[in-house]
Amino acid sequence: MKKYIISEIYADGYERTAIVKEMHGDAKYIVHFLEYDEYLEKDGAAPKRETGDILEGTVSIDLVNISKRVNRDLMHRQVIKKSSHIEAIVEVSQVIDDCSVYAFSSVSKDKILIEFEDAVDYMEGDRIFIEGSLEINETKH
């Protein structure tokens, strides 16, 4: 589990998109998460969370709807402004079920969970290109 400092945050209903920076590192990401107890109009102020607040949790890549096997180095990029959309090449380290795997990635030194929208047949060691949403799953204290 890592800690991230919020640089910017945007709200739409229960959904939040935030630009965050690792507390003990230089990496910056655009992540998506849900704030189940605070509904806000689009781009309304998010009084529960604001710039400078800390998010603690694990990152994952969810809603993967494009994927294919490749033979390339691990990488990731987020090119859509204010969007958690991510393109990445990851290496499968463990198959959980037909829609979920753990993988090595350039996003984190730890293995991260990858969740697909449809069933896939990847195996341990496969390198795959994926497109999805970079999520942060908060730890509840």
31-90 pLDDT, tens digit each: 999 988 888 877 666 678 889 999 999 999 999 999 999 999 999 999 999 999 999 999
Quote the CA–CA distance of 33 and 16 in Å, as a whole number: 5
Domains of the chain, by residue range, sit at 2-56, 59-138
Say what percent of the chain tops pLDDT 90. Answer: 78
How confident is the model over 103-114, as pLDDT tens digits? 999 999 899 999
Q: Quick one: average pLDDT of 14-20? A: 94
Contacts 24+ apart (CB under 8 A), 118-125: 118/65, 120/67, 122/67, 122/69, 122/92, 122/95, 123/92, 123/95, 124/92, 124/93, 124/94, 124/95, 125/91, 125/92
Neighbours of 51 (CB within 10 A): 12
| DSSP conformation letters of 60-71 | EEEEEEEEEE--
